Chains A and B, each alone.
Chain A
Amino acid sequence: MTALSRDVVIIGSGAGGGTVASRVARLAAQGHSVLVLEQGPRFRDDEFTGQEVEMAGALYADRGGFLTADGTMTLAFARGYGGSTIVYTGTSLTAPERVIRRWDVPGLTYADVVERSRRYLVENNVHLLAPDRLNDNNQLFLEGAGRAGFRAEQFPLNLKGCRGSSLCNLGCPNAAKQGTNRVQLPNAERQGVEVVTRAEAQRVNERGVTVRVTPVPAGAKGLPSEWAPGDYDITAKLVVVAGGAIGTPSLLLRSRLPGLPHGVGRRFTAHPALVLVGQHPRPISNDVGHPKSFFVDRAAEERFVLETCMYFPFVTAKSLTGFGPDHGILMRDFSRLQMILVLACDRAIPGNRVTVDRLGRPVVHYRYTPEVIDAIVHATRAAAKIFFAAGTLRVHAPPADPPLIEAADRERLDELIQPRHFRAGRISISSAHLMGGAAMGRTSADSVTDSWGRVHGVPWLRVADASLFPDALEINPYVTVMALADRVADGLLSDFRSGTL
């Protein structure tokens, strides 16, 4: 065990950890030591090949196959320099006012979230794509939504030099997406922040963090760690945990810290999502151009959001139910497929939570409530209407039986798509919006941290990621994660200034 000492240790380098690192980098410039630990590796730009299985294996936890405890939902989160910002699509929305009000976290105002979000919209070059960069998959969603009576909005995106590879979820091969791996972490490193990759935090304790640095596995992508492989005991004045909504609660739980609030792991939400596919009579442009340009927000009224999307052949095949000819009829010609992602806006409930097993590994318990199933059903009906209004011949709707709905039946959508056809385990449900597990709130009786990410009763410990969310955000979360991490960094800087630390 190698013993080291740092002033501040940040665990995780995604939207939360990367933001904190960038904001507190001035401490490094002033002579304090700031260390970022990232479990995954740094990737070279030429390692983003866009090959589906190869990149999923390199970037995602459990090669993209991390499942909830009952095996009915796949949770997607990345490991690497930049965390999940390597694999998101860069959709940059500010938190809805109604959600921040409903969270009711003392000290956290909507105005503050907006102001801090704005900083990152500018810093990450967020803008709307020009109309000539939108592919048919997106244009047809816009047109179909309009004809079906829905208001589609354009996603602001954090891109610089996007070539339209459509491969965002496998890591941008053109370094266009402005994730923390492109903006905040390089900025922090320029100012003297130390980032160590392939470094997994085993436990946090009153003195700091125990860390295991691993060598590069044979044949694996990514650079070797900046440190020699082995175990490290790092003492620190302050530890910021930003390992995401799975990593943060599981680290805190296996650390068994005295005085840790009982709410760790609770209030987990996920925006359960499913991919719907419609088939056009002619080829459309779908696997070129940014995949996610428009959305329909029905969260406030019907608790769902529809987003354009375009996935890769294996994920698409997995998302369709059925076998043989019913399955092949859609998969045989990818160029005719239009896709819509359906997201249900779930709510934190007592049973949905993160725990750890005997070895300290995360276990996610998730139950689909009747409200979530209803939201998925209503969202599927709405998406099917959009597909048919856009001219598709048939639509694959998993909560229908049979799932393939022909255009001739487009007037019977409400009858065909029913909650009773939603069978967990049959339908491929996934989530890339993992939230909660170390929620902000008033006291240790109802939450884990205050609105500055300070863990109740543990003054040297902060949380700065999506696990702070007390409930689902109802939009794509990364900008809000950055806004909250910005607050955590401000609190930390203030503590340094006042000499509290």
Chain B
Amino acid sequence: MTRQLELFLRVVDALSSLRYRRSLGDSSLDQRVRLLHSLERAPLLLIRRGVWGLRTLVFMGHYTQPSVVDRIGYRARAAGWDARR
């Protein structure tokens, strides 16, 4: 799994270099988003799956951090309604 992910990131980097003459990390936010959007719609299922897997891992790392969860206003608690009164 890790090897597949590394390989996929290299492919994305290479595509970024081809399109923008910059690696993914060095391209602008707008360029990154456009590239990833196009890959998300790629005709090849393998590419779409790669993008989906990558973003799933990124979101898992980001949206499970307590500081992020607090910042976006997610407040579910075991105490449920009692915690809101």
A residues lining the B interface (CB < 8 Å): 48-50, 52-53, 70-72, 133, 162-167, 173-174, 283, 285, 287-289, 312-314, 316-318, 321-326, 331-335, 401, 423-426, 428
* Chain A residue with the shortest CB-CB distance to B78: A173
Distance between Cα atoms of A56 and B83 in the complex (Å): 23
The answer to the question of B72 belonging to the interface, with a C-beta cut-off of 8 Å to chain A, is yes
Contact check, B49 vs A166: say whether CB atoms are below 8 A apart.
Answer: no
Q: Taking chain A's interface residues, is the majority helix, strand, or loop, or is none over half, making it mixed?
A: loop
Shortest distance between the CB of A299 and any CB in chain B (Å): 28
Residues of A within 8 A of B78 (CB): 48-50, 163, 165, 167, 173-174
* Chain A residue with the shortest CB-CB distance to B29: A324
Cβ contacts B37-52/A at 8 Å (1 or 0 each)? 1001100010011011
Residues of B within 8 A of A323 (CB): 32-33, 36-37, 40, 55
Q: Give me 16 A-to-B residue pairs in the complex whose CB atoms sit less than 8 angstroms apart, sorted by A's number.
A: A70-B49, A163-B78, A167-B78, A288-B83, A313-B63, A317-B62, A321-B40, A322-B40, A323-B40, A324-B29, A324-B32, A333-B73, A335-B75, A426-B48, A426-B52, A428-B52
Contact check, A53 vs B52: say whether CB atoms are below 8 A apart.
Answer: no
Residues of B in contact, count (CB < 8 Å): 35
Contact check, B59 vs A314: say whether CB atoms are below 8 A apart.
Answer: yes
Residues of A within 8 A of B48 (CB): 423-426
* Chain A residue with the shortest CB-CB distance to B62: A317
Contact check, B73 vs A50: say whether CB atoms are below 8 A apart.
Answer: no
Distance between Cα atoms of A492 and B53 in the complex (Å): 45
Distance between Cα atoms of A433 and B80 in the complex (Å): 27
The answer to the question of B7 belonging to the interface, with a C-beta cut-off of 8 Å to chain A, is no
Residues of B within 8 A of A72 (CB): 45, 49
* Chain A residue with the shortest CB-CB distance to B71: A332
Residues of A within 8 A of B69 (CB): 313
The 6 A-B pairs at the shortest CB distance, nearest first, are namely A425-B48, A164-B80, A173-B78, A163-B80, A324-B33, A317-B59
Distance between Cα atoms of A439 and B43 in the complex (Å): 36
Q: Which of B29, B41, B55, B80 contacts A289 (CB 8 A)?
A: B80
Shortest distance between the CB of B40 and any CB in chain A (Å): 5
Shortest distance between the CB of B57 and any CB in chain A (Å): 10
Contact check, B76 vs A165: say whether CB atoms are below 8 A apart.
Answer: yes
